[in-house]
Amino acid sequence: MDLLDLIKGQMGDQVIDHLSKEVRADKETTNAAVDGAIATMISALSKNAQKPEKAQSLMSALERDHDGSVLDNIVSLIGGGGGQPQQNQRASNGLGILDHMLGGNTDNVVQMISKGSGLNFLKSGKLLTMLAPIVMGALGKTKKQEGLDVGGLMGLLSGTVQKATEKRNDMGIIGKILDSDGDGSITDDIAGFGMKALGSLFRR
């Protein structure tokens, strides 16, 4: 099972079109940035899940806030149409999700996506905040449907990263982001990222 494919399967042309309009970029550039952003978030989740306490924390967050219902109307979610019910506010809070996912360190992730895709920093950051609820929603939905325990969740994340790493030479933007320093390892590329004032930068 490949979580990257599962998430992209939830995002048809209509979703990419809306994301392109939101970040005011062409569809090709947006699609490349989307691929890289999703791959990077999955890599960060996988790295976090290597620690038992963080893996359990992720499980708890999925069970509490991320049942996949945000995927029922992705266009409304990314467009800020207010279509999410009250109980899903935490599930649709992209900045809050990123803070937990990346340990309060997001700036360098945004810079990586910007460098690899050609989107500027602000547009890359906005895209990341819109995609974070989708990634968590897809992960929560898969966990629920497949009945995954902590071990199964870790296997899904690490397996997805492994497949992406094996395909790195053919993946273009994803490969560049997963291995930003070109040393063949993604683990050090997810560490040390910084988050400063994204809340104010990306508020409308």
Q: Which two tokens stand for residue 16?
A: 């990419």
Instruction: Give me the pLDDT at residue 168, please.
Output: 55
- Of the candidates 135, 132, 107, which has an alpha carbon nearest to the alpha carbon of residue 121? 107
Closest listed residue to residue 173, CA positions, set 21, 40, 9: 40
Query: How many CB atoms are closer than 10 A to CB 9?
Result: 10
CA distance 33 to 10: 16
Confirm whether 199 is domain-assigned.
Answer: no
Confirm if 178 and 165 have CB atoms less than 8 A apart: yes
Top pLDDT among 186 and 136 is at 136
Residue that wins the pLDDT comparison between 130 and 75? 130
Identify whether 203 is part of a domain.
no
pLDDT above 60 for 82: no
Domain extent at residue 103: 3-194
pLDDT digits (tens, 9 = 90+) for 21-69: 999 999 989 988 888 888 888 888 888 888 888 889 899 999 988 988 8
Question: How many domains does the chain fold into?
Answer: 1
Residue 61, SS3 per DSSP: helix
Q: pLDDT tens for residues 7-32?
A: 888 888 889 999 999 999 999 899 88
Chain segment 142-200, per-residue pLDDT in tens: 999 999 999 999 999 988 888 877 765 434 444 454 445 444 444 444 433 333 333 33
Token readout for 184 is: 């063949």
Residue 190 lies in a domain: yes
For residue 200, tell me if it sits in a domain: no
Residue 96 within a domain: yes
